[in-house]
Structure 1
Amino acid sequence: MLIKPVPSPDAPLELLLEADPSVDEIRRYLENSSCYVTTIGNETVGAYVIQPMGDGVYELMNIAVAPAHQGNGIGAKLLEHAIKMAGKPGARRLELGTGTFGYQLAFYQRAGFRVVAVERDHFLTHYDTPIYENGIQHKDRLRLAIEY
């Protein structure tokens, strides 16, 4: 498995849609971000997007693994890579936003992320189509962070 940077215009949009259902949102944040992909052979099986926010703060905008390759530790390796990439000298914190429930929350907490804020109604105001997981609609977004 190889993790390498790709130019934002070459980011695997279909794969990133696994984690963020809005093409418009993905295109918006790709403009000022770095994208990394992981491949097995010639197949792109995972990706993440990280954006500098200023003052030593970075945000993990998206992390996704192809459905056929989920559950094999690829996401954990991508997250570990993102934490290292953002933790360069001068970095203070890596942040991300996620739903208030679901497997993603536990995934990030296992890696050491902690809740720092709640953004009420984020998914209601930023997405045209409701987002459901396990029959429950996502409404609020949690902000999580790792301090360096």
Structure 2
Amino acid sequence: MSNDHNQIKGKKHFEIKQVEKITDEHWKLLLLADPSKDLVERYLQSGKTFEFRKNTKLAAIMVLKEVSQFKLEIKNIAVDPAFENQGIATRLLKYAFCYAKKHQYQQVLIGTGSTSFKQLYLYQKMGFRISHVKRDFFVKNYKYPIHENGLLLRDMLVLVADLTELKNDYYKG
């Protein structure tokens, strides 16, 4: 898939491209979204990693992994706090939809914490629907308790976007 570029007055504003080598800078972002280095290392081996650079600075990262012939999962998506609330996560989700469509996937999955209110809002706004709950996922799979929004994170919500049901504007940069 070709790089996603947006030009403003002849100057590159942002770029999304696949990453071949994970650097310390990438790790910092990956661990923002998933504090388990062991789990991240596992899905990095079989996933494809994409970085989002804004004015050449690393602003976000996303890992996509094939679940089956027709399903693609977003295993990790993280935006540097300095770049939050600029529409970057939305652009990455749209990129994931375009990537999935180009590679003939029918569904895109994403898992998030039941206490991840901001992420849940965004994912549902983008066309994801809750599919199922992985009860006690974070309690069983993480060494230390995770607290988010003042709550103990226990359950993972799995959301699915059916590409045949999404509006075409989800595929526009």
**Is TM (by shorter chain) over 0.5?**
yes
Secondary structure of residue in 2 paired with 1:145: strand
Cα separation, 2, equivalents of 1:91 and 1:8 = 25
TM-score (norm 2): 0.81
Rounded to whole Å, the distance in 2 between the matches of 1:51 and 1:8 is: 16
Q: Deviations over 1:109-140 (max 9, x none)?
A: 01000001111100100111111111101101
Deviation at 1:86, TM superposition (A): 1.4
Runs (4+) of structure 1 exceeding 3 A deviation are 8-11
What one-letter code is carried by the residue in structure 1 that aligns with 2:20? P
CA RMSD of aligned residues (A): 1.4
Count of residue correspondences:
148
Identity of aligned residues (%): 35
The CA distance in 2 between the partners of 1:89 and 1:2, in whole Å, is: 20
- Provide structure 2 residue ranges, at least 5 long, that are not aligned to the other structure: 1-13, 164-173
TM-score of the aligned structures, taking structure 1 as reference length: 0.94
CA distance in 2, matches of 1:83, 1:125: 30
Of 114, 118, 123, the match for 1:100? 114
Quote the residue 1:128 is aligned against: 143
Mark the runs of 5 or more structure 1 residues left unpaired by the alignment. none
Please report how far the alpha carbon of residue 2 of structure 1 lies from its aligned counterpart in structure 2 after TM superposition.
0.7
Over 3 Å counting, the alpha-carbon distance change for 1:28 and 1:89 in structure 2 is closer
- Secondary structure class of the residue paired with 1:130: coil
**Structure of larger gyration radius:** 2
